[in-house]
Structure 1
């Protein structure tokens, strides 16, 4: 009788363990959503705010932090960035007076560190790439050699989101309803000129 009781206890513990493991796996259902908000036009392109949202319930992005990359659709380049930086400048020798931040056709971008000077920050940036569940990380970039209207601007392609010991697969960009923003005094609503979404889904632990 005692051995039967012990066996039942073991069975209950194993069942509970399987249930909690399944629950933990299920709780990580979600994704990393990248939002590319085109905010204003410039003489040869536009300024955009790019935001990564961690919609995963339990999976954090830890140090040394996230990176993301994409391939430009045409011959775009990055004039300047705030809140993040491209890991390579590339060959900018064709520019004589003003040197771009990056001339790479497939740039890789990384978040800045928490002690970054305030004039190089925007809201929700500069966390060293750490991105906890339910939070967001953002940066701003000025894109040159790009279209200067909603008919000529092209979204980058082949997005990749990279995180320590995690592999993600990103889908194609989708043109969605422009994001709306509320001013600091909460008395005025503004809107992005164009907005694209890219969804990146966790594949496996690296």
Structure 2
């Protein structure tokens, strides 16, 4: 039986913000399979100092199936009141900046627009926050909620002594690890409260600021990164990935290796990183294949395979989302972990798959004589009122790999059930048959 994931507490809706300079519209990217998904950045002011404050910055990934992969997140923002960062615990600013005005104690960062990255696990110190130092990696919340957050402490200074009317940072940016995230303006919210002393006392911070960052594939990728192919036991026809799904193959069909860009937007060191993939008609680095294997009295069996055609990249802690009405019934995946996702306005027929620890969490890169792949067989119970092999019902509606929507074939290319009209007699054979019958009649008379 596939377990279910608890629903997120906060819902995400599209919001329109008004700026003091006019209308600015920030449309949060909406995914119907994960409507509450976002990455929330929280600044909690823990206490005041002579010239500023100490704040804990938390990054929480609320996406059910989108993780932050290597090389990890990078958080940027802009100070508005000449603030500096005296020190950071649990993270590090990538640039110190111009600190020449400070003669005695030298700040950790004097940049007006600091960029902060996470530390590796072996860099943790005794005074680091509990959720720090994960190398910038954030797990998907439905897969490993304990590893879906990160935090660090900053000591902010260079403010007037006793000036508690501090300004919030502005222009938050999040690279996770590349482009694709758009962050809302920072807003002051109800102060956070945490339990201390074994849970018998709660403490409220002085102020809390929050921003939510949402992801758009259109900003992150110039072309799709995956496609879906289909096959069934009842048809010899294999529906391949649509041609040019992720780009078009070069004219030279003899070429076995092709170059594609990993990201399609500009402004990041990840841009222009070249991907070398196996040349195919679809040119996708990843292919998902759904094969209907058997049909039993009370169950039916599917084989699900993910193939990596990328020569340069392994996919660590990969995951796969499949939207299919068959998952409304009990299902068993033999070689993958799985759970059902809660969605908005869609029945509970969306399943999330990911690898088994120490077995297949790593989707290996392709090589000259082989491709990397992971696969499982899935046994699904039948609801005899709805189950059918007709009209492509047994094939998936939507497939996501690591949160990226995979290109589906056109329904008119799906494998079809054999029937009387699927094997039409050629007109030449029909004419020949009529001539033979007519000749036989003449000979008899």
State TM-score, norm by structure 2.
0.39
CA deviation map 1:115-165 (0-9, x unaligned): 114235211010000001222110000000236668511100000011124
Deviation digits for residues 100-121 of structure 1, max 9, x if unmatched? 0000000000001011142352
Instruction: Report whether the alignment pairs 1:26 with 2:32.
Output: yes
Structure 2: 5+ residue stretches without partners: 1-30, 142-147, 221-262, 264-445
Q: State which drifts further: 192-201 or 178-187.
A: 178-187
* CA deviation profile, 1:147-192 (whole Å, cap 9, x unmatched): 6668511100000011124410001111100000101511110011
For 2:123 and 2:92, the matched residues in 1 are separated by 11
When Rg is computed on C-alpha atoms for both structures, the one with the higher figure is 2
How far apart, CA to CA, are the structure 2 residues paired with 1:146 and 1:72?
Answer: 11
Counterparts of 1:113-124 in structure 2 under 5 Å? 113-119=120-126, 121-124=128-131
The alpha-carbon distance between structure 1 residues 148 and 36, as it changes in their structure 2 partners (threshold 3 A), is: farther
Instruction: Please state whether the residue corresponding to 1:65 is helix, strand or coil.
Output: coil
Using the alignment, how far apart are the partners of 2:105 and 2:163 within structure 1? 26
Q: Distance in 1 between matches of 2:72 and 2:112?
A: 23
When normalised by structure 1's length, the TM-score is 0.83
1:96/1:151 CA distance change after superposition, 3 Å? closer
Match for residue 78 of structure 1 among 66, 70, 85 = 85
Task: State the distance in 2 between where 1:121 and 1:170 align.
Answer: 26
| Counterpart-to-counterpart distance in 2, 1:117 and 1:52 | 17
- 2:47 pairs with one of 30, 35, 40: 40
Structure 1 residue 34: Cα displacement: 0.4
**Structure 1 match to 2:196:** 183
- In structure 1, the residue matched to 2:153 is 140
Distance, in Å, in 1 between the alignment partners of 2:101 and 2:162 is: 25
Aligned length: 182
Residue of structure 2 in register with 1:16 after alignment: none
Rounded to whole Å, the distance in 2 between the matches of 1:150 and 1:50 is: 21
User: 86-95 vs 147-156, which deviates more?
Assistant: 147-156
Measure the CA separation in 1 of the matches of 2:120 and 2:151: 13
Q: Which structure shows the bigger proportion of residues in helix conformation?
A: 1
Measure, in 1, the Cα distance between the counterparts of 2:188 and 2:160. Answer: 16
CA contact (8 A) 2:124 2:133 kept: no
Picking from 214, 233, 254, the partner of 1:201 is 214
Superposed CA RMSD: 1.6
Contact 2:181 2:216 in 1 (8 A): yes
Mapped pair 1:172 → 2:188: no
Q: Distance in 2 between matches of 1:138 and 1:35?
A: 9
